[in-house]
A and B are shown apart, each in its own frame.
Chain A
Amino acid sequence: MSLVFSRTVLGLSLLALFTYTLLVGLDMPFRASMLPVLASSLALPLTALALFVEYKKENQKSSQADESSGDLAVSQSEVSVDAFRRVRYFFIWFACLLASAHLLGFLIGLPLMVLIYLLANREPYRLSIFLSFMVLMILYWGFQKGLVLPLPEGVLTTMLFGG
């Protein structure tokens, strides 16, 4: 997916979202609709303006590195082909992280996925095991015992081994 296409999709999604919130807002009782309707009616022309300005400036390539207060700019190394390949792998790993947390539970799923990430990135074997073990310790002693947070069991582990 090219950057231009991705940018267009983002802009159009925002336009669609604000149109939807405006239409839904108009169907609500007055009191509940005040903020959504007011906000959506302001957002629609502003989004159109933002997209217009962006396309006008497209040739200047300024939108890529929009420096902002407290929001650091995207560097050129982050938009290279290699960078996107790394990001794709990260997304796959992140999805697996969430899935394993759900299926295997936090105490097994999260340290396991940390270990897989570290080994896949060719980190030393011992260091990877040590860090994964540290994650397990933080989860168990820090969150489950220290903060008395009931970390959920996995759907799969509960099914296989009981609650």
Chain B
Amino acid sequence: MSTWDAVWAGLIHILEPTAFLYMMLGIVISSTLVALPGIGSKTAIALLLPLAFTLDKFEAICLIVSVWAVSNTANSITSILFAVPGGSGSQATILDGYPMARNGEASRALSAAFTSSALGGIFGAIVLAISLPVLKPLVILLGPPEFFVLIMFGIAMVSTLSGKNKAKGLVIGILGLLISSVGIHLVSGIPRFTFGNLTLMDGLNLIPVTIGLFAIPELISLVASGSSISKMELNNLDSGRRQGIRDSFTHWWLVIRSSLVGVWVGMIPGLGSSVADWFAYGHARATEKGAEETFGKGDVRGVIAVDSATNAKEGGSLIPTLAFGIPGSSTLALVFGGLLIVGVKPGKDILTTQLDVTFSFIWLLIIASVITSLLCIIFIKPLAKATQVRPTLLVPLICAVSVVGAFANSNNFGDIIVMATFGVFGYWLRLHGWPRPPLLLGLVLGPEAERHLWTSYQLYEWEFVLRPITGSLLILLILILGWPTVKALFAKLQQGERV
């Protein structure tokens, strides 16, 4: 299949009526759930995964990818209206969005945020498309040892960047790898960590673990906090929409630069939305005329920079995911797991024989971003009202759906027990600041890591770690992990000399 054929086929796949319908369903559900208090994009994806598995490949891709691709757009609503970040990627939006809302420009700020989100999403998708010809030969060059170390690199990056205590992230990532080894070992037929339990013989399924780790702790957190995020009046939502849209196009150069920042952050596994928004905000503040005086007081450029970067990040994060099978973020790890189960395997195939699948991702990023932004602009008021839904209404409904979702995976009540166990464990981890995303990444990448580890050992024994690329990656990894400790030691030594 030539590249142009793949571009065309990718578009046709997602414009099929049923696939398009599932994309729309994904957009509506994602935007609504993300706007609800305490329900993040990971919860939305976790709840929708059971449905995706009943669909055909492209319908499932449309549902899963659209839920993920647009999850950063509706996040801005709570940030701008109530100064409460709707997600990790919308924290910097508060700095200028909330002052704008207080100045009576809520609608302008929201429209600017939604429009720049769409533009950022399109930019990220274009960069992804342009990078494909470069990635293809690179991926073909890599063998099992390189892929094994790349997987370890991905888990370590997500782990180290997911909290202040880096060792905690690494431990949880390794725990994910160990959990992936539960069940009968396919090659040797040895049962591993099953305790003779039939449910565990098949291994732990991704869906109940995901729902348990991400949906249940968020619900517990909602119960614990005990109130909706705001009881504020929703004013100033009627005028200023056109101005907001115009602002995004007037500052097109800022949109492009911020999107580039977003793509760059997305390409590095582990750096998530929470980093992209601050980088983009810092960049805009440092480079825009008069920003020092106006930023933080309600400058629309602050909103535009952040929202274009957080959405462009998604295109960038697909680059390591599709090419090397390393999800660029924890949410993408969930998407990645879902795609694996519906038969989409990142790596060589997706860049060669299944190029149409890759282009369907790119088209989805573009089309879903535009449609979501339009819908958000049109339905600003109902979405803003959704943020005020009482947790007491949400919790039992989502719990009921979670139970059915966990069961739907394999029609096994044991999976509900797995979900509940991981729910309690996830809450425990969250309570004590142990990050949960690395566990999921380890669980998803575990089987691939084990396969590559065994093949590498068979080919080169333990000397595979000395191969040029694997060795370089390992050294880089050690430097990244060890650098903060070395820096702290140097600082202590210097302090000691001064004393």
Which A residues form the contact surface with B (CB < 8 A)? 3, 6-7, 10, 14, 17-18, 21, 24, 28-29, 31-32, 34-36, 38-40, 42-43, 46-47, 49-50, 53-54, 57, 62-75, 77-79, 82-84, 86-87, 90-91, 94, 97-98, 101-102, 106, 110-111, 113-114, 117-118, 121, 123, 127, 131, 134-135, 138-139, 143, 147, 149-152
Contacts and interface: CB of A to CB of B under 8 A. Distances in A.
Interface string B137-180: 00000000000000000000010011111011111001101100
B223 A90 contact: yes
B165 A66 contact: yes
Contacts of A135: 397, 400
B395 A90 contact: yes
A77 B224 contact: yes
Contacts of A90: 219-220, 223, 395
13 contacts: A6-B428, A29-B190, A32-B187, A32-B190, A43-B178, A63-B165, A66-B434, A69-B437, A70-B42, A77-B224, A97-B403, A123-B392, A150-B411
Contacts of A34: 450, 453-454, 457
Interface of B: 40, 42, 51, 54, 87-88, 158, 161-165, 167-171, 174-175, 177-178, 181, 185, 187-188, 190, 192-193, 219-221, 223-226, 270-275, 329-331, 390, 392-393, 395-397, 399-401, 403-404, 407-408, 411, 413, 416-417, 420, 423-424, 427-437, 446, 449-450, 453-454, 457
The 7 residue pairs across chains A and B that have the minimum distance between CB atoms: A66-B433, A69-B272, A50-B167, A83-B224, A117-B396, A121-B392, A78-B224
A117 B436 contact: no
A69 to B, nearest CB: 3
Contacts of A14: 171, 175
Contacts of A70: 40, 42, 88, 162, 272-274, 329-331, 437
Contact of A31 (B40, B54, B171, B454): B454
Contacts of B446: 35
Given A43-B178, A117-B396, A71 B430 contact: yes
Nearest to A25: B192
A77 B227 CA distance: 10
A46 B167 contact: yes
B171 A47 contact: yes
A21 to B, nearest CB: 6
A159 B294 CA distance: 71
A48 to B, nearest CB: 9
B165 A57 contact: yes
Given A6-B431, A43-B175, 11 more contacts: A21-B193, A35-B450, A36-B192, A47-B171, A54-B165, A68-B274, A69-B158, A79-B431, A87-B224, A106-B404, A143-B408
A25 B226 CA distance: 44
B393 to A, nearest CB: 7
Contacts of B407: 106, 149, 151-152
Contacts of B427: 87
B432 A6 contact: yes
A151 B436 CA distance: 30
A64 B165 CA distance: 11
Contacts of B420: 94, 98
Given A72-B88, A94-B399, A143-B408, A32 B224 contact: no
